[in-house]
Amino acid sequence: MSLLNQLIAAVFAVLIGLVSGTLYIMSDSSKDMLSHQLESHGQDTATHLGLYLAPYIAEQDTATIETTINAIFDSGFYQKIEVLDAQGQTLFTSDSPPPTPQNVPQWFLKLVQFTPPSMEREISHQWRKVGKVKVQGRAGYAYEQLWKGAEKTLIWFISLSLIAVFSLSYLLRFILRPLKGVAEQASALSERKYVEQKHIPKTQELKTVVEAMNKMVRRVQRTFDEQTRHIEELRKTAYQDNLTGLANQRSTQAQLSDWLDYRKDFGPGTCIYLHIPNLQSLNQQAGEERINNFLCYVGTQLSNLALQYQQNIVGRLTGSDFIALIPVTDEETVKRTINQLKESIKINANSQEIAQNQLPIHIAVTQSNEHTTAAQLLSEARILLRQASLNNVDIQYPEQFTGVQTTSNSWQSHVANAINNKQVFLQYQKVISNSGNTVIQRELLARILNRENMPCSAIEFIQVVKELGLIEALDKAVLERAIEYIQGHPSCPPLTINFSQQAIHSENFTAWINKKLRKQKLKGRLNIEINETAVLNDIEHIVQFRDLLKQNGVGFGVDNFGIHPSGFSYLYVVQPDYIKIDGSLCREIDNSAEDRFFVSSLITAAHSLGIQAYAERIEREGQSEQLSTLNIDGTQGFLHGRPEALI
């Protein structure tokens, strides 16, 4: 019960006590007054009867006595009238059982016990005592009068109490409104939200509480902001090029290795390797400031080019070497993009008075597929750069430009039928707790059976799915299969699904998933993950999507966490249930002090917001041991086994 309701209840209890006491006092005094009235009335009746019946009593004329008594008794104000002679013998008695008073509830009759007084009068005639008259009034009259008074008092009490309660409720709500704000602040703080009250109450005690709460909120927020800035500075130092802001050599090579050697899900792509020859000579000729401006411009243009695609890697390998990997292979598109890049760099170089007759860069373009390794990609690009330098050309393409990777109509039809008919084969990879004893969740990997009825990896069909616009249908099929499995296995560990950016930004998909989840009991049994890049592309929409999941008891996580150049301050707004630290950051964590310190900072920041932190693509015991010392909540990777079929 809220404090406001408790105060109202307490006041109401006091009012009930007051009215109970009032009713008791009033009833008791009224009872005494009515008793005195009945005594007086009975005494008067006995006196008048004695004066009138004295001669008849002396003569013991019972007929006249009976007639007189009955005439008076029929008025209904008496319960018993008795006439006695001088010897105490009864001459006549008229009585009746006490009638039940009309309009008086039984509980009141039981609560208020009232015995009407019996009055008597000695009768004298001709100076001698001839008898006695006893009169007892009827109690019903007293009960009726007592009830009328009590009823009127109760009606007034209830009416005034309702008015008082409503008035008191409004007044207390107004006075205690700051306390409601404090409760909301505490609740928001538990959800890692920092809310300050703008209105400071004038009541001294409430003012102290509100100001103390505001101070605590500011302190907690300042602590998180300082922690975020510290980690951001660390990330920039360890993984970011100081001049251009791109990923440095270490970070770029780690991402290339992670995407091409481990995940093997990048698929066909184009690598743009940009080299600035004679950088030292250019520094001496044009000056360090102009060359630095030029390098920043080159980095910005390359970054803008890469960021047009959800999947991309862009970075600076050395002082004079830049690289970008984008998921496009169409020859016309690639050449148009490269020419635009070249022209924009040329214009900037001329404005900086760096280039006169030739472009001060060489660009090598090579292509990758699902079998290309990171080392192979870099080697091929550097060979093409040497050719460009020897041939004195700005851009060097491979001898055989592969262009668009076409797929057969039969394979496209097979993939489309499998997705549309929801013939999706699911595998999973376990996330194991830090203690190594508990399966925290099982991340689902979507597969379809090829024409030989064997599961094929995502890299073999995902490009076709994108070309046919079936990404949303694939996500729906995976979710339906997951829910079906959960219903059939009530005690299974939670399942985790990785949704695409395209699906979650579809209004139809959002409405569909809300309807689908609302019918199920999935609390603690299903999680949905979104890639960090997709989260940062539209944080407002992601927050709405997270709220939708929360309403339906579904967990929400951020995948590939920690590598986006925009940092991770978005965690405060998005508030996921957990994060999965990207495998490129953990790849050398058992050999690199910088990686350990950075990952430790990420874990600490997540824990400070009440967010669980897991590490992806863990392959060695050394990695697991180091992460355990950093208080990681769970790990995922080949160390815990290859993907298994969900059966």
- CATH code at position 492: 3.20.20.450
* Structural domain contains residue 500: yes
The sign of the CA dihedral 606, 607, 610, 614 is positive
- 381 and 437: one domain? no
pLDDT tens, 507-550?
Answer: 888 889 888 888 788 888 999 999 888 888 888 889 999 999 99
**pLDDT at residue number 77:** 75
Domain termination residue (choose one: 365, 396, 427)? 396
* Structural domain contains residue 295: yes
- 332 and 270: one domain? yes
- DSSP state at residue 247: B
* Structural domain contains residue 456: yes
* Structural domain contains residue 306: yes
**pLDDT at residue number 404:** 46
Domain termination residue (choose one: 396, 424, 453)? 396
CA angle 32, 38, 39 (to 5 degrees): 90
Model's pTM, two decimal places?
0.65
- 115 and 206: one domain? no
> Where is 611: in which H helix or E strand?
none
- 328 and 421: one domain? no
- 138 and 232: one domain? no
- 499 and 604: one domain? yes
- 224 and 263: one domain? no
- 418 and 391: one domain? no
Domain that holds residue 57: 3-163
* Structural domain contains residue 546: yes
- 432 and 457: one domain? yes
The parts of the chain modelled with pLDDT lower than 70 are 1-5, 23-24, 26-32, 34, 76, 98-102, 109, 111, 113-114, 141, 176, 179, 187, 189-194, 263-265, 355-359, 401-408, 565
* Structural domain contains residue 199: yes
**pLDDT at residue number 568:** 76
Using DSSP, state whether 607 is helix, strand or coil: helix
- 231 and 275: one domain? no
Domain termination residue (choose one: 163, 182, 202)? 163
Domain count, the chain: 4
- 312 and 436: one domain? no
* Structural domain contains residue 185: no
Q: Lay out the sheet containing 269-275: strands in order across.
A: 313-316, 321-326, 269-275, 362-368, 395-396
- 257 and 382: one domain? yes
CATH of the domain at 367: 3.30.70.270
CATH of the domain at 46: 3.30.450.20
* Structural domain contains residue 401: no
